[in-house]
Amino acid sequence: MNREALIETLKGQIIEQLNLQKVTAADIKTDDPLFGEGLGLDSIDALELMVLMQQHYKVKLTNPDEGPKIFQSVGTMADFIIANVK
């Protein structure tokens, strides 16, 4: 799986899944934080991101403690998906 292509796909999927109407894929930088100062996502959005990974990539987050690390940025999400896609 090509990381760069996955990152671009993820950006679009995040915008669609979270209904981010005023955000474009170009607005989301690969290593910018998704929570806090970055996109400003919250805990409900984290649940939606988990659903996105399960639906599109069949990847489950089994340890909730890993969430903050996995959902740090689009890049970290892509790395997790690549490492866990079967």
CATH code of residue 28: 1.10.1200.10
Q: Which pLDDT does position 37 carry in this prediction?
A: 86
CB distance 29 to 54 below 8 Å: no
**How many structural domains comprise the chain?**
1
The model's pTM is 0.93
Nearest residue to 19 (alpha-carbon basis) of 36, 37, 35, 41 = 41
What's the mean per-residue pLDDT of the chain? Answer: 94
Q: Which pLDDT does position 57 carry in this prediction?
A: 97
Q: Which pLDDT does position 64 carry in this prediction?
A: 83
User: What would the mean pLDDT of 39-68 be, rounded to a whole number?
Assistant: 93
Q: Which pLDDT does position 86 carry in this prediction?
A: 74
Q: Which pLDDT does position 50 carry in this prediction?
A: 94
- pLDDT band at 16; cut points 50, 70, 90: very high
- For 74, the domain range is 3-84
Structure tokens at 59: 């990847």
Nearest residue to 9 (alpha-carbon basis) of 34, 36, 30, 32 = 30
